[in-house]
Chains A and B, each alone.
Chain A
Amino acid sequence: MVDLVTNDEPRDNLFLVALKSPSFVIGLVLTLMFSIGAVVSFFWTPFDVAVLDILNRLKCPPAQNWVASLQIPSAENNWFASWACQSAPEYLFGTDHFGRDMFSMILVGARTSIAVAFIAVGIGIGVGVPLGLAAAAKTGSIIDELIMRSNDLVLAFPALLIAILITAVYGASATNAIIAIGIFNIPVFARLTRGAALSLWTREFVLAARVAGKGPVLISIEHILPNIMNLLIVQSTIQFSLGILAEAGLSYVGLGVQPPIPSWGRMLADAQTMISFAPHMALLPGIAIILTVLGLNLMGDGLRDVFDPKLRRSRT
Chain B
Amino acid sequence: MRKPSYLALVGTALLLATSLTPAMAAQTDITVGMVLEPPNLDPTAGAAAAIDEVVYANVFEGLTRFNSSGEVIPALAQSWDISEDGLVYTFNLPSGVTFHDGTTFDAEDVKFSLDRARAEDSTNAKKNIFEGIDTVEALDANTVRITLTKPDGLFLFQMAKGDAVIVAPESAADNATNPIGTGPFKFDDWVQGDRVELSKYEGYWGNPVALEQVTFEFIADPTAAFAAMMAEDVDTFPNFPAPETLAQLDADPRFSVVVGATEGETILSTNNANPPLDDVRVREAIAHAIDRQAIIDGAMFGYGTPIGTHFNPSNPNYIDLTGQSDYDPDKSRALLAEAGITDLTLRLKLPPPSYARRGGEVIAAQLRAVGIETEVTNVEWAQWLDEVYKQRDYDLTIVSHTEPFDIGIYVRDDYYFNYSSDEMVAIMNELNDTTDPAARTLLIHKAQQHIADEYVNGYLFQLAKTGVANSKINGLWENSPTQANDMTGVSWSD
Chain A interface residues toward B at CB < 8 A: 50-52, 54, 57, 97-99, 171-172, 254, 258-260, 272-274, 276-277
Contacts and interface: CB of A to CB of B under 8 A. Distances in A.
B223 interface: yes
Contact of B369 (A51, A54, A277): A51
Contacts of B223: 272-273
A283 B422 CA distance: 56
A50 B244 contact: no
Instruction: From A52, A258, A277, name the one whose CB has the most chain B CB atoms within 10 angstroms.
Output: A52
Given A52-B298, A273-B222, A172 B365 contact: no
B378 A258 contact: yes
21 contacts: A50-B365, A52-B294, A52-B362, A52-B365, A54-B293, A54-B294, A54-B297, A57-B297, A97-B244, A98-B298, A98-B365, A172-B377, A258-B376, A258-B378, A259-B360, A260-B364, A260-B365, A260-B376, A273-B222, A273-B223, A277-B244
A99 B376 CA distance: 20
B386 to A, nearest CB: 13
A254 B364 CA distance: 17
B368 A172 contact: no
Nearest to B248: A276
A123 to B, nearest CB: 24
Contacts of B293: 54
Nearest to B357: A259
Interface string B202-246: 000000000000000000001100100000000000000010110
A171 B377 contact: yes
Contacts of B361: 52, 98, 259-260
Interface in B356-374: 358, 360-362, 364-366, 368-369
Contacts of B298: 52, 54, 57, 97-99
Given A98-B362, A273-B222, A259 B368 contact: no
A86 to B, nearest CB: 14
A118 to B, nearest CB: 24
Interface residues of B, number: 24
B247 interface: yes
A273 B369 contact: no
Given A50-B365, A50-B368, A172-B377, A273 B242 contact: yes
A277 B362 contact: no
Given A52-B361, A259-B364, A259-B376, 17 more contacts: A50-B365, A54-B297, A57-B297, A57-B298, A97-B244, A98-B358, A98-B365, A99-B298, A171-B377, A259-B361, A259-B378, A260-B365, A260-B376, A272-B223, A273-B222, A274-B244, A274-B245
Interface of B: 222-223, 226, 242, 244-245, 247-248, 293-294, 297-298, 358, 360-362, 364-366, 368-369, 376-378
Contact of A258 (B245, B248, B358, B377): B377
Contacts of B366: 52
Contacts of B294: 52, 54
Nearest to A276: B248
A97 B244 CA distance: 9
A243 B193 CA distance: 32
Instruction: From A50, A171, A259, name the one whose CB has the most chain B CB atoms within 10 angstroms.
Output: A259
B378 A172 contact: yes
Contacts of B247: 277
A277 B242 CA distance: 13
Nearest to B368: A50
Interface of B is mostly: helix
Nearest to B361: A259
Interface of A is mostly: loop
A241 to B, nearest CB: 27
Instruction: From B226, B361, B365, name the one whose CB has the most chain A CB atoms within 10 angstroms.
Output: B365
Contacts of A54: 293-294, 297-298, 362
Contacts of B245: 273-274, 276
Contacts of A274: 244-245
A209 to B, nearest CB: 53
Instruction: From A51, A54, A276, name the one whose CB has the most chain B CB atoms within 10 angstroms.
Output: A54
Nearest to A172: B378
A273 B365 contact: no
Nearest to B378: A254
Contacts of A57: 297-298
Contacts of A277: 244, 247-248
Contacts of A276: 245, 248
A5 to B, nearest CB: 48
A274 B223 CA distance: 9
Contacts of A52: 294, 298, 361-362, 365-366
A258 B361 CA distance: 10
A279 B289 CA distance: 32
A99 B294 CA distance: 11
Nearest to A254: B378
B104 to A, nearest CB: 49
B378 A273 contact: no
Please give me the 7 A-B residue pairs with the lowest Cβ-Cβ distance, nearest first.
A54-B294, A52-B365, A54-B298, A273-B242, A272-B223, A54-B297, A259-B361
B393 to A, nearest CB: 12
Nearest to B348: A259
Instruction: From B244, B247, B293, B378, name the one whose CB has the most chain A CB atoms within 10 angstroms.
Output: B244
Contact of A273 (B226, B364, B368): B226
Contacts of A272: 222-223
B222 to A, nearest CB: 5
A102 B366 CA distance: 19
B365 A51 contact: yes
Instruction: From A51, A258, A272, name the one whose CB has the most chain B CB atoms within 10 angstroms.
Output: A272
A97 to B, nearest CB: 7
Nearest to B230: A276
A272 B242 CA distance: 10
Contacts of A51: 365, 369
A274 B298 CA distance: 13
Contacts of B226: 273
B291 to A, nearest CB: 8
Contacts of B297: 54, 57
Nearest to A171: B377
Contacts of A171: 377
Contacts of A273: 222-223, 226, 242, 244-245
A50 B358 CA distance: 14
Contacts of A260: 361, 364-365, 376
A48 to B, nearest CB: 10
A51 B365 CA distance: 6
Contacts of A50: 365, 368
A154 B360 CA distance: 36
B26 to A, nearest CB: 31
A285 B413 CA distance: 48
A99 B248 CA distance: 20
A57 B294 CA distance: 11
A99 B223 CA distance: 21
Nearest to A270: B358
Nearest to A98: B298
